[in-house]
Amino acid sequence: MGSLYRSEEMRFCQLIVEKDAAFSVVAELGKQACVQFKDLNPDVNSFQRIFVRDIRRFDEMERKLRFLESQIQKDGMQIGGRVDDGDYEAMPTAELNQLETTLNDLERDVKNMNESDALLKKNFADLKEWDAVLNKTDEFFAGGVDSEAQEELEEQEELGGGRQAEKAPIQYVVGVIRRERIPAFERVLWRACHHTAYVRASDIEEQLEDPETGDKVNKSVFIVFYKGDRLRSIINKVADGFKAKLFANCPRTSKERQSSVHEVRARIADLQTVIGQTREHRFRVLQAAANNHMAWLKQVNLQKSVYHTLNLFNFDGIGRFFVGECWIPLRDIDNVREALERATEASGSAVRPVLNVLETSDEPPTYNKTNKFTAVFQSIVDSYGVASYLEVNPAPYTIITFPFLFSCMFGDLGHGILMLLAGIYLVVREKNLIARNIKDEIFGMFFGGRYIILLMGLFSIHAGFIYNDMFAKAFNIFGSRWHNPYPNANVSHWIHEEEVAKRDILFEVTGQPHQFFSRSNKPRFTNQYSIALSDWRGHLDPGVAYDTAAGPYPFGVDPVWNVAENRLNFLNSMKMKLSVILGIGQMTFGVILSLQNHRFFKSKIDIFTVFIPQMLFLGCIFMYLCLQIILKWIFFWVKEEVIFGQLYPGSHCAPSLLIGLINMFMLKPREAGFVMNETRVGPNNLLIEKEGCYLTQWYPGQSIIEMILVLIAVICVPIMLFGKPIAFILEQKKHKKAHAENITVHANVLTEETEIIANGNGKAEGGHSSGGGGGAHHGENFGDVMVHQAIHTIEYVLGCVSHTASYLRLWALSLAHAQLSEVLWHMVLSNSFNASHNLAIGGIAIYIVFFIFAVLTFSILVLMEGLSAFLHALRLHWVEFQSKFYLGLGYPFVPFSFKEQLSKVELQAAA
């Protein structure tokens, strides 16, 4: 399983490279993506680093590329290709300089074209407005607006009363204003001029383009008649307030206006030709930039990432060599050396780089090598916490356990097939979908998890066969093991009653009836049964209706339970017990994985004070409970028989495991056996059973065995709590003793000088020895160890109970999913079958209802319920499973990689 089972071994290395070859070396390592560099200048800010000018240069080039991209998108053109095309070769310096010059020229040209285009648009808009003004002015005067204005103004002068009217000729001014501002403009002008201005307006039929925003707007031409220069000043101010444009040089005669119209339209035609040529040139320039945009953006980001990495290096003493420190996987060191050789040859340097492996006390990064299949499962684990260095990685086990637990909650054959088909489509069309470069975030999430969707669909199909459930319907593949014990006449009568009452007959599967006597000799059950026809209900006695000779249904749940009235009681009991068994099984496996960690790190104290007590505690209580569940399934039946040497009268005496577990902890005394004795009484040879026979001991020595199990579980708690701290104290004492035995004191009687030599290495430590300790625990003290172990013990003991209960979500979500599926079937689809007796109308109804049923099934039962089951499976892995062995205190290995750098650029472009 390689590094997927446990992270790669890492080596801390020092890289010494000549200054002239540094760029080529780092660029070659960026292609390999197996070196994580350490920042040797952590106290130096980004503005004071060596290559800050180069980075600013590429930032400026990137800004120009973003500007060109905005202009390309503004013109509705598409940028072809991808940033990451698989070629990670850095551009030579000469070509890079040429690219910088090209970007400068393109930016300047595009800006000049933008300014020219804006000016042309403004001139074109002015000419169109002027053309409209000339035409509308002719229309105004042709309609006699001047005469109307003359009469209106004279009337207003007469109504002025004692005020002396201005003795001046009537003048007019024309202009253009936004259509929606006309009513307000007229009202304000009317009031500001004291009713002495005459205004008329006419809409321009053609929409005009706003040169500033480029939006199409509706405008109108207006004409204002007035007297005197004072009113002209008022009109100018009101027009400025409404952003209306006045034309003071409008010709006074119709002939002059017609001549101006011909001249304006000729200029408009010429201007349209110029604008078309300008846009065509702009299109060619931007199209050429669009064709090369991704390649340019790739090169700029490659260059910038190399210089960012070189900023992590440091100079040697003479300033000729760069010195860097990095983490490299052990298996990739030879590949790195080969890459350094290639980079040196490419740069033409005469000095070969030096790669030294160093010893360090720093914690190495965690690197789990993955592929496109395992990456999604590794990301699930890393979302909880990155594994500590060389710690057991849960990802390979998650590949199986995650879709399995998901299927336990989502188990439906039909829904599993839908999910499987979706996964198959995403996997088969993988290359095509990647090439399409779809930028939708939701689609990206589903596509990234395509393999886990595929596995969840497969496991859900398996669970659907186990539960015998497909869209809330069972399927009878192997033939039910139940048969009808009733006479055909009775069945025919029930069917007739069902048709009359229009009610379904449901079969209640119950235990075999018997007749027993209690201690008061009063019969509690009868060996005869009768069917009340008024209930329309058939009772199947397992002792009679079940085919014992044929054995159980070969695979999954017998299909007869789909029509049983007590179906939920049976399935809930079965799924609840399965959830407990699966949960305890996965938690036990997690504790076993912790043993792998203890053995790998050679921590015997953890094996004896943590692993063994945890296994005993889990086994004495919870594994014992699972064993009882399995034994109850195997041995206890509806028929009278001898089980574990004790006479078992029937299903009503099957042991109650929950109450039995409570009695186990309370050490409550219980009677042995199910009956008083094996002597039969009465004419029918009946047994006398014990009161509460389901609470008695059901195998010999049960109370003693359970007392021993509880005692062992209780003893394990203080071992887990105090075992490691006590071992820590003993180790400290042993270390102090060994340290004292290795100290030699040399004394000079004449000079009264002393010399202390530690560990026999001849190194003088001083006149007095202070004595140390705790070196094996790297500075930890007893208090830290005690607190940590107390928290760990309490968490484990309480977690065993709470986590077992948490696994019951497998049963709860399975129940909810099945009930939703059943409701959707009966309340939506099945009603369409009886919608109408007319074949055509019924067919249309079925078609429409089936479409609604399909939409609701996929959206609610597959997507929403699938997401719910996914989140619950995620929690079970993070909390219940991984907490038993997984620390997750590491940090990820993040190598310098051109591929990762370009992926980030693509994500930013998509955002």
Please provide the average confidence, as pLDDT, over all residues in the chain: 84
Question: Is this structure's pTM higher than 0.85?
Answer: no
Beta-carbon neighbour count of residue 781 at 10 Å? 12
Residues 442 and 369: beta-carbon distance below 8 Å:
no
Sequential DSSP letters for 103-124: HHHHHHHHHHHHHHHHHHHHHH
Instruction: State the burial class of residue 835 (Cβ atoms within 10 Å of its Cβ: 0-12, 13-18, 19+).
Output: middle
Query: Which tokens sit at 852?
Result: 């609604």
Torsion of CA 407, 410, 414, 415, to 10 degrees: -110
**In angstroms, how far is CA 253 from the centroid of its own chain?**
75
Neighbour-count burial for 446-455, b at 16+ CB within 10 Å, e otherwise: ebebbbbbbb
CB 774 within 8 A of CB 733: no
Instruction: Tell me which of 100 and 520 has the higher pLDDT.
Output: 100
Which domains are seen in the chain, by residue range?
119-276 (3.30.70.3450)
pLDDT digits (tens, 9 = 90+) for 233-283: 888 899 888 889 888 788 878 888 888 889 989 999 999 999 899 989 999
Which pLDDT score is estimated for 704?
92
Q: What are phi and psi of 44, to 5 degrees?
A: -100, 125
Is a pLDDT exceeding 70 seen at residue 146?
Answer: no
Q: Rounded to whole angstroms, how far apart are CA atoms 274 and 281?
A: 11
Residue 493: partners with Cβ closer than 8 Å, 6 or more residues away: 533
Q: Which two tokens stand for residue 899?
A: 């591929």
Q: Three-state DSSP class for 36?
A: strand
388 is written with which tokens? Answer: 């500590």
Strand-pairing partners, residue 480, are none
Beta strands in 685-825 (DSSP E): 743-748, 753-758
Residue 699: name the closest of 755, 750, 652, 655 by CA. 655
For residue 739, pLDDT beyond 80:
no
The phi and psi torsions of 476 (rounded to 5 degrees) equal: -100, 90
The pLDDT tens digits for 832-870 are 776 656 677 777 888 888 888 899 999 999 999 999 999
Does residue 85 have a pLDDT over 60?
A: yes
- Percent share of the chain, pLDDT over 90: 44
Task: Work out the average pLDDT over 468-473.
Answer: 89
3-state secondary structure 459-487: HHHHHHHHHCCECCECCCCCCCCECCCCC
Confidence category of residue 596, pLDDT binned at 50, 70, 90: very high
pLDDT in tens, 28-61: 999 999 999 999 998 888 888 989 999 999 999 9
User: Coil, helix or strand for 429?
Assistant: coil
Does residue 763 carry a pLDDT above 80? no
Go through the chain and tell me how many residues it has. 911
Q: Which of 449, 562, 79 is nearest to 294 (CA)?
A: 79
For residue 471, give the nearest of 856, 19, 729 by alpha carbon. 856
Q: What is the mean pLDDT of residues 643-670?
A: 87
Say which residues have a Cβ less than 8 Å from residue 776's Cβ, sequence separation at least 6: 731, 735
Rounded distance, CA 171 to CA 164, Å? 19
pLDDT at site 638? 82
Q: Kindly report which listed range (358-367, 376-385, 536-545) carries the lowest average pLDDT score.
A: 536-545
pLDDT band at 151 (very low <50, low <70, confident <90, very high): confident
* Whether the predicted pLDDT of 754 surpasses 60: no
Categorize the per-residue pLDDT at 526 as very low, low, confident or very high, splitting at 50, 70 and 90: very low
What would the two tokens of residue 282 be? 């702009």
Would the pLDDT of 536 be above 80? no
pLDDT number for residue 329? 94
- What residues contact 812, with CB distance under 8 A and at least 6 apart? none
Residue keyed to tokens 């010399």? 755
Short-list 225, 231, 223, CA closest to 166: 231
More confident residue, 843 or 442: 442
Tokens at 249, concatenated? 């040089």
Per-residue pLDDT at 145 exceeds 90: no
Helix runs in 742-880, H state only: 782-806, 809-824, 830-833, 839-856, 865-875
Detail the DSSP E strand segments found in 31-169.
Answer: 36-38
Categorize the per-residue pLDDT at 762 as very low, low, confident or very high, splitting at 50, 70 and 90: very low
Question: What is d(CA 77, CA 80) in angstroms, rounded to the nearest whole number?
Answer: 9
177 HSE (CA, 13 A, CB side): 26
- H or E segment at 911? none
pLDDT at 66 over 50: yes
> What pLDDT is recorded for position 364?
94
| CA–CA distance, 190 with 261 (Å, rounded to integer) | 31
Q: Is the pLDDT confidence value at 449 over 60? A: yes
- Cα 467 to Cα 477: distance, rounded to the nearest angstrom: 13
Going by pLDDT thresholds of 50, 70 and 90, the confidence category of residue 324 is very high
